Structure 1
Amino acid sequence: MGKKIRTFCICLFLGFLFTFVVDGVNLWPMPNSLSHGTQSLYLSKDFALWSTYKDGSGILKDGFSRLLDIVREAHVVDGNVTDSLAVLEGLNVVVFSTDDELNFGTNESYKLSIPATGSPLHAHLEAHTVYGALHGLQTFSQLCHFNFTTRIIEVHLVPWIIVDQPRFSYRGLLIDTSRHYQPLPMIKNVIDAMAYTKLNVLHWHIVDTQSFPLDIPSYPKLWNGAYSLSERYTMADAVEIVQYAQRRGINVLAEIDVPGHALSWGIGYPSLWPSLDCRQPLDVSNEFTFNVIDGILSDFSKVFKFKFVHLGGDEVYTGCWNITPHVKKWLNKKGLNESEAYEYFVLRAQKIALSHGYEMVNWEETFNNFGKKLSPKTVVHNWLGGGVAQKIVAAGLRCIVSNQDKWYLDHLTTTWEEFYMNEPLSNITNPKHQKLVIGGEVCMWGEHIDASDLEQTIWPRAAAAAERLWTSFDELAKDPKQVTGRLAHFRCLLNQRGVAAAPLAGPGRVAPLGPGSCYQQ
């Protein structure tokens, strides 16, 4: 490389660092309200948690332990303390509610303050629930920096006052374990990174046409549809994932996609297929089909405690029913055409879900076809494009936005800037209708994704959407160029924490352009 090019790169890098020093605040997602000073503290080697919260389940204690781990894991903290900096001795946490149940609508707000003076000197974190406190711990972790001269952890720009709460109650990420199996450690890695970005729903698209990897005790032959004996999840595995996520403030939304996308079900129970020549959608004429759905949701209700279950309902090719003699005979007996049978199936599946205490999420085709015939407890999942969310909320139903042109992670040509600027409330101006948009979700479909490329396909683009879903609209940047440096800083922080987040400089999962600083990529 020529000398002039090297000089340019060095200047560019120094410019980046100067931006960081001047701006000072490199938090992601950006809190809704903050103020800070200009002083620095150092973190005591015995930095401790003080709290009167009755932490019977250990969620707060574990969260604090993880805070210390991620703050200290990037470098060996072996420096000597100088007299020029005040010592931050610990974090005093007040949690007002003793209820540690996590579900939709749990209060996630918090207030974090770090004074510049005091003896002893403590940071203070207040939250209504322990899950708000976990978010405060994540924010605190991003305020901690390793000083390479003193080799200690410092907190800069004190005093800090941060008052924060999420913009939307539902901030989701979908992973697909049917197209490619994802090992439990990889799912846990994704959950950890979700906690760093304050996403709070893992949408687990467990099964699909290609495979059925989950053990269903009520119908144990279903997981005969797994790719192999080793590419399976036991119910104990599912419990592990749910508990691991819950202790990080994340709900797990389980999905069975019916009646389409279900060919794998028939590997273990062939009678679920209309015929050997026509294997999906599931056989609407067979009572056994609904017995199986009832058994699955009964087993789900013992493990997946989130308020919602996802019943799919998209991309249903009903022509299969019309060309299968026994199904055609049933249609004629019931006086139903193909479209009406599709409606019958979706609404009956919803009733089964309701009987197990769930409210339902369905993909938008169900609304496009049946509208207000859906249960009023339906959340419609918009994915096909713009314009539908407005119709959903105008009809009085709730909506999750995942429009594929902006929030599908498997679309590798979609840039982080497009993820950042995608607005769930676009063209929805009525305040009552806006409240029916409960949030949004980025989707990591798995046709070309396995454990080798999952993380770099998700991050940092999912983090861009996470700020859109967390930070109030008034505080969001109107131009993604305004946040490029801050997101680059966060992407490098993810790397330092062991998350294989891809560079910003390109769409999808791209490799670094060449040698250089993490902050330039």
Structure 2
Amino acid sequence: MFAKMLLRVVLLGICLGFCSRVEGIDLWPMPMSVSYGKHSLYLSKDFGLVTEGSKYPDGSGTLKDAFLRVKDVIPNGHVLDGSLPSSGVVAGLHVVVLSPNDTLNYGIDESYKLLVPATGSPIYAYIEAQTVYGALHAMQTFSQLCSVNLDTRTIKLSLAPWSITDQPRFSYRGLLIDTSRHFLPLPIIKSVIDSMTYSKLNVLHWHIVDTQSFPMEIYSYPKLWHGSYTSTERYTMADALEIVKYAQRRGVNVLAEIDVPGHALSWGKGYPSLWPSANCQEPLDVSNEFTFKVIDGILSDFSKIFEFRFVHLGGDEVDTSCWTTTPHIQDWLKKNKMNESGAYEYFVLRAQKIAISHGYEVINWEETFNNFGKKLSPSTIVHNWLGGGVAEKVTAAGLRCIVSNQDKWYLDHLDATWQGFYMNEPLVNITKTEQQKLVIGGEVCMWGEHIDASDIHQTIWPRAAAAAERLWTPLEKLAKDPKLVTSRLARFRCLLNQRGVAAAPLAGLGREVPIGPGSCISQ
């Protein structure tokens, strides 16, 4: 049935003169293939969802809920009570999902086709996707085809007929949030997840704990969250499950991180024996078997909540001086014929084995590769952050890589411009196909030292959107000069504002105030 509809739409497109150009198209991120016409349509007041012919039963309501969310954001909060014309009215969205499975994880098929004919009786927009998550992306694209016409008080869909074929360039398109430096309330985390879907980011990297605080409940070791700032700035395991399920229904994976052995002073607030000593509290005590029992307990609890294929174990910025100045650790090093660098390697590799025993593949920050890359588990993903050129070395060694080089993709660097975010290419200098495949994607990082619930959205957006197009859109479709996408990104930033996301102006650096009175698009 859908194949016949597809053929009909294609023939209509030929008859009505599809254009292959993309100038003036305000979609973000830009799809793989776009063609369009010149006709205006209007959404019916009873615009509905049709799933006839779909193999996806939607028992969880994922598809229906996504449709209702998209339908809700399209009017941008306006009350529209205008009269519709007698023709050119889109009655609904016909979605066909070819797979009955809605299991979300890395590598899921996110491709889709979106077709909007210019004529018909009635007119339906059509989505075909292999998985429900491809359909969710298609709905977001459809929402950007629609605009509010306040002269007629209707929803207008211009330039029909549309034919869009789309799929992501990279399977991993991430955003890191940091809940250790500042606690982020659950509604804020949920709002960040919602905002990610608008630009098709699909991994929320949750840097849960760090030196400053341990806000997460751990059933196996309940005193760990004594390291929280206050008794109210904590997440229960039920809270964590709520975030995971909320994200999954929106096509977003949640990557949990515990950063070991450094960045873990807060662990000892509940269990002081994890510290090398009372006066030298970081990194975690490598000589203490209890340290690894706690890590095992955390990852055991995580495996019941965080269903993503990967877990992040950190491994960065490890200052081993506490190990070399604490007598009992000195004795342990001598007994095991290790120096401090050997102990660092031992800790990381043992933590990896624990994670693997719980069914995870491990992500580590790049220092682990820089120091002992050949010893890492072959399934390790190396997370670049220090600078450029790392992905080239990691993939040459046969390991996978995520790109987050801090000079371009760290959102807390307020002097990092959206232009730099857009032009940062994960595959720079990687020419061999087999190495390119090992770069699974990239991630923008919202570290929380100077960011909390009051300013997180304007610090993330619109710069994260610039990186999102780099990670989604085919390389040949990306602009060679960011000036060519300024107008389109400005309109997307205004769309975010209309949807309640406090995205900052494009002018100037990150998180700046508007330049003065004027239209949103001019800021």
Q: TM-score range by the shorter chain?
A: over 0.9
- Residue number in structure 2 paired with 1:28: 28
Aligned residue type for 1:490: F
Extract unaligned runs of 5+ from structure 2.
1-21
Correspondences of 1:281-300 after superposition (within 5 Å): 281-300=283-302
The answer to whether structure 1 residue 89 and structure 2 residue 91 are counterparts is yes
SS at match of 1:204: strand
- Residue number in structure 1 paired with 2:437: 435
Quote the offset at 1:74 in angstroms. 2.7
- Residue number in structure 2 paired with 1:163: 165
Is residue 178–residue 446 contact of structure 2 (8 Å, CA) maintained in 1? yes
SS at match of 1:360: strand
CA distance in 1 between counterparts of 2:191 and 2:58 reads 25
SS at match of 1:237: helix
Quote the offset at 1:198 in angstroms. 0.1
- Residue number in structure 1 paired with 2:391: 389
Quote the offset at 1:23 in angstroms. 3.9
- Residue number in structure 2 paired with 1:15: none
SS at match of 2:265: coil
Matching residue within 485, 501, 507 for 1:499: 501
Quote the offset at 1:148 in angstroms. 1.3
Aligned residue type for 1:78: D
SS at match of 1:210: coil
Matching residue within 69, 75, 78 for 2:72: 69
- Residue number in structure 2 paired with 1:306: 308
The answer to whether structure 1 residue 57 and structure 2 residue 75 are counterparts is no
Correspondences of 1:319-468 after superposition (within 5 Å): 319-468=321-470
Is residue 362–residue 380 contact of structure 2 (8 Å, CA) maintained in 1? yes
SS at match of 1:236: helix
Residue by residue over 1:476-515, the C-alpha shift from the partner in whole angstroms, topping out at 9 and shown as x without a partner, is: 0000000000000000000000000000001110000111
- Residue number in structure 2 paired with 1:267: 269
- Residue number in structure 1 paired with 2:48: 48
Aligned residue type for 2:195: A
Quote the offset at 1:81 in angstroms. 1.2
Report runs of 4+ in structure 1 exceeding 4 Å deviation. Answer: none
CA distance in 1 between counterparts of 2:508 and 2:153 reads 34
The answer to whether structure 1 residue 79 and structure 2 residue 82 are counterparts is yes
- Residue number in structure 1 paired with 2:471: 469
Aligned residue type for 2:255: L
SS at match of 1:156: strand
Correspondences of 1:97-246 after superposition (within 5 Å): 97-246=99-248
Is residue 37–residue 158 contact of structure 1 (8 Å, CA) maintained in 2? yes
The answer to whether structure 1 residue 37 and structure 2 residue 41 are counterparts is no
Aligned residues: 499
Quote the offset at 1:24 in angstroms. 3.5
CA distance in 1 between counterparts of 2:483 and 2:390 reads 29
State the identity %. 74
Aligned residue type for 2:173: R
Quote the offset at 1:306 in angstroms. 0.1
- Residue number in structure 2 paired with 1:11: none
SS at match of 1:141: helix
Residue by residue over 1:94-141, the C-alpha shift from the partner in whole angstroms, topping out at 9 and shown as x without a partner, is: 100011000000000000000001111111000000000000000000
Extract unaligned runs of 5+ from structure 1.
1-21
SS at match of 1:372: helix
SS at match of 1:432: helix
CA distance in 2 between counterparts of 1:357 and 1:514 reads 53
SS at match of 2:444: strand
SS at match of 2:74: helix
SS at match of 1:306: coil
CA distance in 2 between counterparts of 1:121 and 1:509 reads 43
CA distance in 2 between counterparts of 1:234 and 1:73 reads 34
CA distance in 2 between counterparts of 1:511 and 1:67 reads 29
Aligned residue type for 1:147: N
Aligned residue type for 1:368: N
Aligned residue type for 1:187: I
SS at match of 2:437: helix
CA RMSD of aligned residues (A): 0.8
CA distance in 2 between counterparts of 1:464 and 1:239 reads 30
SS at match of 1:440: strand
SS at match of 1:48: strand
Is residue 75–residue 147 contact of structure 2 (8 Å, CA) maintained in 1? no
Residue by residue over 1:250-305, the C-alpha shift from the partner in whole angstroms, topping out at 9 and shown as x without a partner, is: 00000000000000000000000000111000000000000000000000000000
Residue by residue over 1:407-452, the C-alpha shift from the partner in whole angstroms, topping out at 9 and shown as x without a partner, is: 0000000100000000000011111000000000000000000001
Aligned residue type for 1:419: F
Aligned residue type for 1:256: I
Residue by residue over 1:356-410, the C-alpha shift from the partner in whole angstroms, topping out at 9 and shown as x without a partner, is: 0000000000000011210011000000001111110000000000000000000
Quote the offset at 1:82 in angstroms. 2.3
CA distance in 1 between counterparts of 2:317 and 2:24 reads 48
CA distance in 2 between counterparts of 1:388 and 1:67 reads 39
Aligned residue type for 1:54: P
Aligned residue type for 2:260: V
SS at match of 1:264: helix
CA distance in 2 between counterparts of 1:209 and 1:238 reads 20
Task: Tell me the TM-score normalized by structure 2.
Answer: 0.95
Is residue 24–residue 157 contact of structure 1 (8 Å, CA) maintained in 2? no
Aligned residue type for 1:279: Q
Aligned residue type for 1:373: K
Aligned residue type for 1:55: D
Residue by residue over 1:225-248, the C-alpha shift from the partner in whole angstroms, topping out at 9 and shown as x without a partner, is: 000011100001000100110000
CA distance in 1 between counterparts of 2:430 and 2:76 reads 44
CA distance in 2 between counterparts of 1:77 and 1:158 reads 22
Q: Which stretch has the larger CA shift, 462-471 or 67-76?
A: 67-76
The answer to whether structure 1 residue 516 and structure 2 residue 518 are counterparts is yes
Quote the offset at 1:224 in angstroms. 0.2
SS at match of 1:44: strand
Aligned residue type for 1:194: M
Is residue 392–residue 399 contact of structure 1 (8 Å, CA) maintained in 2? yes
Aligned residue type for 1:240: E
Is residue 147–residue 153 contact of structure 1 (8 Å, CA) maintained in 2? yes
Aligned residue type for 1:72: P
